[in-house]
Structure 1
Amino acid sequence: MTEMARKAATGLDENPGGGGQPVLDRLVALLDLEKIEENYYRGVSPVHSPVRVFGGQVAGQALVAAGRTVPEERRVHSLHAYFIRGGDPSVPIVYEVDRIRDGRSFTTRRVVAVQHGKAIFSLSASFQKDEGGIEHADTMPDVPGPEALPTFAERVEGLGLGFTERPRPIDVRYVNEPPWITRETGQRPATNRVWMRADGKLPDDQLLHVCVLTYASDMTLLDSVLARHGVYWDDNNVLGASLDHALWFHRPFRADEWLLYDCASPSASGARGLATGRFFAQDGTLVATVVQEGLLRVR
């Protein structure tokens, strides 16, 4: 990573908060890992980070590390990951890539992220060369388009929510009023729908677009679990963390174009909540599917 990229990634030359191309450029730089040895890469975290490293960041960086050991013509089609320990944003993260298999059609990689001598995250990813075959897909729900919806800043203006002050490289627009704004009690549907896209223009690098979507897929997903129970992130009585995360990439897409993230929660038990998500392009094409289990301790 160049010094300019490091400054952009860590936000040393930018003010916190807001969005737009400068903030997105910092995310792109954040995903531009430094190669320190064959199969070893190093990533950093933004200065303006929460107490723990954002799960989407470490997942996106791990996928970058895996992808840089795979021929460009092989596209990632799935990943499965576990969040093992909370990441420390004040020190770099080292990513070790294990080249599990290089087959005629598929390539498999395993990545372990390490801080302070201990694993904080592990990821397995599978890559495949392009092939034809049978096709079908779910249809996109009928929802308002993103241009008709308020921005995140417009949704939260005047509410004084602390988590709104962080830089936001992803433009997120809620289809329905977020549950942490409505404060509704009692049971609601265990669903959440948002439009999202990178808040600016991304380079024409298919691996980068997949990694940005991986980063974004950890956002708003567990809202579908909490929506059912009338508890919310900023109440200081909910302790939440991602436990594992799986993504399947079905078709090509651009992460800087609008994608509908349609999320639902089929179950919550044992202080854990399960959430599923589907990403649809604006033309209705299903491009990716997500499943995540999160730790949700309500005090």
Structure 2
Amino acid sequence: MSTLIRPPAVDPSQSAIENLLELTQLSDIDPDLFTNRRPLWHPPGARGIYGGAAIAQCLSAAQRTVDEDFTVHSMHCYFVLAGNSEIPIIYHVERVRSGKSFATRTVQARQRGKVIFTTTMSFVRQNSGGEQKVEHSAKLPQVPGPIEGLDDLDHGGSSSGPFQSQRIEITNNDSPNAEDKKCRQWMKARGRISPAGGHQAHLSALAYMSDSYFIGTIARVHKLWRYSKTRKDKSKSSIDEDVLKKLLAMDDEELKRVRFVDKADLERLRRIRNGEDVSATDKSPEIGMMVSLDHTIYFHNPRAFRADEWMFTEMETPWTGDGRGLVFQKIFSRDGTLIASCVQEGLVRLKQQGESKL
């Protein structure tokens, strides 16, 4: 059973992402215990549930334990074990400190008694910085705006996920240096987040979306092939099998609108569509394993944006080596306000010679 309590009917007054991230407070056991109200998404081919769900639901749980005038300004997360989408998650909030200006909360996500995800968050009381402040902020780059009415693939090749995005061409994509490139996209939650959700719902939605193709930036800037036609273990579903079929059914114009397909991918897809055995002729490196290890979000203007309106993200990687990689992300509202800065380190291992295809 994927939830501890039978999921209620979808609330039409809430957006899709609000319904997805709903929590049930287990007050009869402990007021600081929560559980997912609805099944969580397991991306095809991934080791476990989508990491953004754990990030967002931990934040949602912690927000329910602080006063209304406190807002999250940072959260530091570690992915410990792969989450199982068939088992309910129990979120335990520890009220580490509740001060006059700052509050600290630690949340552990557990399945079968084991910690699968842990995060520590800091909350700050609104307007506690004083009247005179030191201020500066990065500026929104000059980029084409989002195209209204144009949808894109997300949630494993589906256009019905809780948020949508539109990819922009990679900056400096022809550079031989991966560290010079920047991956950019527009994103927003589908529908309209309800007034009842308050600023907390927008923050949780942003946290959910912040993990979308984050560590995947490394694969894109290195032009690594992320889709194989065969895999040794046929017992497991694969993003390669599920998504590749959808991609091969599209024409070139449709493929150009898919946010996770780059020029290098497009060329390989054309060759596969033409009947070529890419695995035999393409000697470029292929991803063997790519898993998020940790995730940090700094919220800069946590009440100055709506997650159901277009936000711009820019991702770049300053370093990759020793089987790991680091990615930085800046998130702006459409009016140019810097909403958040994110950092993620992940496991990035290439398929070694002699290994079978994924």
TM-score by length of structure 1 reads 0.83
1:176 positional shift:
1.3
- Give per-residue Cα distances to partners, 1:242-292, cap 9 Å, x unaligned: 110000111121101111001100011111110000011111111110000
The answer on 1:128 being equivalent to 2:124 is yes
In structure 1, the partner of 2:184 is: 193
CA distance in 2, matches of 1:107, 1:185: 44
1:223 positional shift:
3.1
In structure 1, the partner of 2:51 is: 55
Q: 1:232 to 1:255 in 2, by over 3 A?
A: farther
In structure 1, the partner of 2:15 is: 25
User: Percent identity, aligned pairs only?
Assistant: 33
1:98 positional shift:
0.5
Aligned pairs (5 A) from 1:120-199:
120-131=116-127, 132=129, 133-147=133-147, 150-153=150-153, 163-165=156-158, 167-176=160-169, 189-199=180-190
The answer on 1:241 being equivalent to 2:291 is yes
Q: Is the 8 A contact 1:81 1:121 kept in 2?
A: yes
Aligned pairs (5 A) from 1:144-293:
144-147=144-147, 150-153=150-153, 163-165=156-158, 167-176=160-169, 189-204=180-195, 205-235=198-228, 237-238=286-287, 239-251=289-301, 252-293=304-345
Q: In structure 1, what residue type is equivalent to 2:144?
A: P
Between stretches 209-218 and 235-244, larger displacement belongs to 235-244
CA distance in 2, matches of 1:166, 1:7: 22
Q: In structure 2, what residue type is equivalent to 1:62?
A: C
In structure 2, the partner of 1:159 is: none
TM-score by length of structure 2 reads 0.70
- Give per-residue Cα distances to partners, 1:186-217, cap 9 Å, x unaligned: 76544210000111100231011001000000
1:6 positional shift:
3.9
Structure with greater proportional strand content? 1
| Aligned alpha-carbon RMSD (Å) | 2.9
Point out where structure 1 has 5 or more consecutive residues left out of the alignment. Answer: 10-20, 157-161
Q: In structure 1, what residue type is equivalent to 2:212?
A: M
In structure 2, the partner of 1:94 is: 90
1:125 positional shift:
0.5
In structure 1, the partner of 2:271 is: none
In structure 2, the partner of 1:35 is: 25
Q: Is the 8 A contact 1:185 1:230 kept in 2?
A: no
1:234 positional shift:
2.6
In structure 1, the partner of 2:347 is: 295
CA distance in 2, matches of 1:226, 1:190: 12
Larger radius of gyration: 2
May I ask how many residue pairs the two structures share in their alignment?
Answer: 276
In structure 2, the partner of 1:77 is: 73
Q: Is the 8 A contact 1:259 1:280 kept in 2?
A: yes
Point out where structure 2 has 5 or more consecutive residues left out of the alignment. Answer: 229-239, 241-285, 352-358
Q: 1:45 to 1:294 in 2, by over 3 A?
A: farther
